Structure 1
């Protein structure tokens, strides 16, 4: 584990707050960049590639350690994906970084035709997933999971915290084929180390059990769900949390087993639009299997989201700890 620091308190009056870490929360600096450097020492086929965003995706750490294996492609995401496919055809394993909006919206066809169709060993790590930036619809990738889930052969991952990311990097390198992973950058919260957690590709993990509510979540919403569980414990509401870091392929057996336990409200929480993400994937799996718990969804709306400070936006769109707690208590009556 990289060095853990306590996040310095910050004002919430700024128009744009990029960090998702709360005041005083434990964080790890650039876990993706450090994990990739460590792995590259053992895997000479790894190369790092980006579209003018090394510093903003933590790939600059790899560039400093392995300048001869780093490729700056400029502000040309389609070229980035095509070049990564070329490297993979020659036996390299490109780790490609950009913002999620630029990969999934601007370079989708290049990923589809040059990477996924040929089942190439390209790992695509994308920052600013969902509502993790305040810079409005141009930078908020609220629909990226829906787009990438629809791409044949693409593995899709949504990590929760620094530990998830550090363990995810070597796991995706072992996996043969293309991977799309959401990326948390900079000072990344550290929460899962308190729960004896280990990332396994394609596996959901019951991080915390609870008799009243089961929150099934991915990405930063697992962090939020754990905070909600602690908050609602004061009201004697027992909340379980099932973390689903791999969105595709979905661990349906674990999800069906946990959702099928009687007497619990099942809530899917995701940092993504209500359309095409984890909630709809789980809802479809439950219906196909004939498992019918009381089912609710916490997600971003099917809308172009506002710009502003992240704490304000998370409250506005219902994905802050307080908003989630109030919503779940309302559902329980």
Structure 2
């Protein structure tokens, strides 16, 4: 086949890099992190925005437009980004640092550990494409970021559910003195927690709905899925409770134990993260340490390098779509 023939063929399109996890017809808000940070910076002159060539893709471009003199674009150098953030924090600034979760947790881990966390500096690291929210494959899928960041001393770790929680999270982590790692949903982000009169509190889990047969302990986008699962089970008269745990570290052990102690319920931890080292193992450890032993299962990503492809296909393949979760839990209930 000659080059002329090849050049006339239409280029195939791919949906692999779709970062939005909004369902069809779902209410969304555009760039909730970027807008919330701009509002925060209007009131706090020490807030600065920093990124490693990903301002547009972490919604930090809104901050750059509003406060160009407080915006630092460090280029594709994540280690330098973290080191510079540490230096600015030493001088009294409060840096909000953005990049992709894989680049922060895998490429710049030692710089966060030694330059930021060891000195307990007031740096907020907010990272896009958490877990399986991109189809670009293992190079961009941060399936193990929570495990890595949970292991870092002094680091607070947050996995927000939706646009509302991201908006509420920004001022809350600004009020917290010390380093924070937060997952970020960017672009057009679903709004789901407004139906539950929700208010984010750092370090607190919230029971969004109750149920007698199943308790789903979830975080991040899996709380959206858990709420959809609970509604699906209503047709079968099966009560599914949803306990949302946005703060992975420090873990709200008291609330988790209180809900898990209630007899007769299957406890399922749902997370957009590998089964290794994330919320599931944190909850399991808390339950076992306290001598609380309900029937326990996990819905999570496998301990494997994940495929590339379109997100709906991948979510079905790896069991974190609503339909896949319903089928899995029905199987456990028998």
Same fold (TM over 0.5): yes
The RMSD of aligned alpha carbons is 0.9
Correspondence for 2:64: 63
Correspondence for 1:9: none
Gaps of 5+ in 2: 1-12
Correspondence for 1:174: 175
The C-alpha deviation readout for 1:42-101, integer Å capped at 9, x for no partner, is 110000000000000000000000000000000000000000000000000000000000
The C-alpha deviation readout for 1:27-50, integer Å capped at 9, x for no partner, is 000000000000111110000000
3-state SS of 2:289 partner? helix
Correspondence for 1:156: 157
Matches within 5 A, 1:1-333: 14-333=15-334
Deviation at 1:17, TM superposition (A): 2.6
The C-alpha deviation readout for 1:186-215, integer Å capped at 9, x for no partner, is 000000000011000000000111111000
3-state SS of 2:113 partner? helix
Give the Cα separation in 2 of the matches to 1:195 and 1:284. 29
Give the Cα separation in 1 of the matches to 2:44 and 2:138. 37
Pair 1:83–1:15, CA change in 2 (3 A):
closer
Q: Higher mean Cα deviation, 17-26 or 107-116?
A: 17-26
3-state SS of 2:236 partner? coil
Give the Cα separation in 1 of the matches to 2:301 and 2:310. 16
Give the Cα separation in 2 of the matches to 1:287 and 1:264. 16
Gaps of 5+ in 1: 1-11
Give the Cα separation in 1 of the matches to 2:119 and 2:165. 28
3-state SS of 2:164 partner? helix
3-state SS of 2:130 partner? coil
Correspondence for 1:5: none
Deviation at 1:328, TM superposition (A): 0.4
3-state SS of 1:112 partner? helix
How many residue pairs get aligned? The number is 322
The C-alpha deviation readout for 1:211-240, integer Å capped at 9, x for no partner, is 110000000000000000011111111100
3-state SS of 1:298 partner? strand
Deviation at 1:147, TM superposition (A): 0.2
Deviation at 1:15, TM superposition (A): 4.2
The C-alpha deviation readout for 1:102-140, integer Å capped at 9, x for no partner, is 000000000000000000000000000000000000000
Deviation at 1:16, TM superposition (A): 4.0
Q: Higher mean Cα deviation, 39-48 or 12-21?
A: 12-21
**TM (normalized to structure 1)?**
0.96
2:37–2:63 Cα contact (<8 Å) kept: yes
2:47–2:95 Cα contact (<8 Å) kept: yes
Deviation at 1:18, TM superposition (A): 2.4
Q: Higher mean Cα deviation, 14-23 or 92-101?
A: 14-23
Give the Cα separation in 2 of the matches to 1:151 and 1:113. 10
Give the Cα separation in 2 of the matches to 1:18 and 1:206. 27
2:16–2:134 Cα contact (<8 Å) kept: no
3-state SS of 1:234 partner? helix
Give the Cα separation in 2 of the matches to 1:16 and 1:321. 21
Give the Cα separation in 2 of the matches to 1:324 and 1:307. 21
2:18–2:310 Cα contact (<8 Å) kept: yes
Give the Cα separation in 2 of the matches to 1:16 and 1:80. 24
Q: Whose radius of gyration is greater, 1 or 2?
A: 2
3-state SS of 1:22 partner? coil
